[in-house]
């Protein structure tokens, strides 16, 4: 009986303690929510990436460049998907760093190797360092163009569905940008940026022309021309978009057939210089070795 009384007392005490702690914690949370937050001024250390980016921008600002070259470079950077305001400064800074880095590596190698062509090696590697950043930009530009060309027919089909369901062309473009964000992010980013331009008050024709200028894709330019003419003359947008989507698919099919037709001609050189020599070695090699092994002793015995 005493043991049972002690167990009951312990259980009652434990339950009471837990209830008191939960009520106290709830009161403490309420007090913390109502009390003003204290801002602690902790020193923020700069990120190494931010320091490096600032250094590259400073170096790029010291590189002289003409206005025409800067405008053309900015257009290429935008078409490659780099829309940062200081993208041209970053590019010039990285180009200067690559030139100095490649030239310094060539100079170090020439000194350690005791080469007699130090100037030629440094100049050649400096030229390579000067060309590499631009080639990287052009590579990204080509990849982005191919991605936009690949996603444009699907975007047009979804746009036709949206327009036929009752949406306007602006709402249809916004809906396409939301729905195809995962499948085709490049064309969706351009559509989203175009929608932002329309919200800022730009005319639809101007926003469409900016879209064609940013992408630099011929199919997008044709789509912009179709939309501008449709908006000007008041024809059916859904019918025009459907016809243009069929036209893009027909052109893609023709380009694929053209590439397939050129494949036989392109395979002539690899087959002639790579496959046939190895084939000759495999088929004629054993015969030649057997002839040499059998004929030489016969000739010597004669």
Distance CA 65, CA 88 (A): 10
24 found inside a domain: no
Residues 205 and 246 in one domain: yes
211 found inside a domain: yes
CA angle in degrees (0–180, nearest 5) for 118-122-126: 175
Residues 136 and 163 in one domain: no
pTM of the model: 0.71
300 found inside a domain: no
Q: What per-residue confidence (pLDDT) applies to 1?
A: 52
Residues 132 and 60 in one domain: yes
**Angle between helical axes of 118-164 and 87-113 (0-180°, round to 10):** 150
Distance CA 82, CA 85 (A): 9
Residues 156 and 103 in one domain: no
Residue 82 per-residue DSSP state: -
Distance CA 52, CA 293 (A): 69
Q: What per-residue confidence (pLDDT) applies to 117?
A: 81
Residue 272 per-residue DSSP state: I
245 alpha-carbon distance from chain centroid? 25
Residues 198 and 186 in one domain: yes
Residues 133 and 193 in one domain: no
CA-derived radius of gyration, the chain: 35
In the predicted structure, residue 299 carries a pLDDT above the cut 60: yes
The number of helices, as runs of H, and strands, as runs of E, in the chain is: 12, 0
Domain count along the chain: 2
247 found inside a domain: yes
Other C-beta atoms lying within 10 Å of the C-beta of residue 88: 22
Are 56 and 86 in contact, with CB atoms under 8 Å apart? no
89 found inside a domain: yes
163 found inside a domain: yes
137 found inside a domain: yes
217 found inside a domain: yes
Q: What is the domain range of residue 79?
A: 48-142
Other C-beta atoms lying within 10 Å of the C-beta of residue 168: 11
Q: What is the mean pLDDT of the chain?
A: 83
Distance CA 175, CA 227 (A): 17
Residues 157 and 253 in one domain: yes
Residues 102 and 157 in one domain: no
pLDDT tens, position by position, 134-161: 999 999 999 999 999 888 888 988 998 8
pLDDT tens, position by position, 68-108: 788 899 999 999 999 888 899 999 999 999 999 999 998 88
pLDDT tens, position by position, 277-293: 888 788 887 877 877 77
């Amino acid at each position: 009986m005493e043991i049972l009384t002690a167990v009951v007392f312990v259980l009652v005490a434990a339950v009471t303690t837990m209830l008191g702690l939960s009520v106290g914690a709830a009161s403490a949370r309420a007090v913390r929510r109502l009390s003003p937050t204290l801002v602690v001024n902790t020193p923020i250390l700069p990120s190494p990436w931010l320091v490096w980016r600032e250094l590259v921008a400073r170096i790029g600002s010291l590189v002289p460049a003409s206005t025409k070259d800067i405008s053309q470079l900015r257009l290429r950077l935008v078409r490659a998907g780099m829309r940062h305001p200081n993208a041209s400064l970053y590019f010039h800074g990285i180009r200067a760093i690559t030139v100095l880095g490649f030239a310094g590596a060539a100079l170090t190698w020439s000194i350690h190797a005791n080469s007699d062509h130090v100037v030629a090696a440094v100049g050649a590697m400096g030229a390579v360092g000067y060309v590499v950043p631009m080639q990287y930009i052009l590579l990204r530009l080509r990849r982005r163009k191919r991605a936009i060309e690949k996603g444009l027919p699907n975007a047009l089909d979804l746009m036709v569905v949206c327009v036929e369901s009752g949406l306007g062309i602006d709402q249809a473009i916004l809906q396409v940008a939301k729905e195809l964000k995962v499948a085709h992010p490049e064309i969706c980013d351009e559509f989203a940026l175009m929608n932002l331009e329309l919200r800022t008050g730009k005319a639809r024709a101007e926003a469409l022309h900016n879209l064609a200028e940013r992408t630099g894709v011929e199919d997008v330019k044709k789509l912009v021309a179709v939309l501008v003419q449709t908006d000007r003359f008041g024809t059916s947008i859904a019918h025009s978009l459907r016809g243009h989507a069929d036209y893009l698919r027909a052109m893609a099919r023709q380009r694929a057939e053209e590439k397939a037709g050129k494949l036989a001609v392109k395979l002539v050189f690899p087959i002639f210089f790579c496959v046939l020599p190895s084939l000759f070695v495999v088929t004629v090699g054993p015969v030649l070795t057997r002839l040499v092994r059998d004929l030489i002793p016969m000739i010597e015995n004669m």
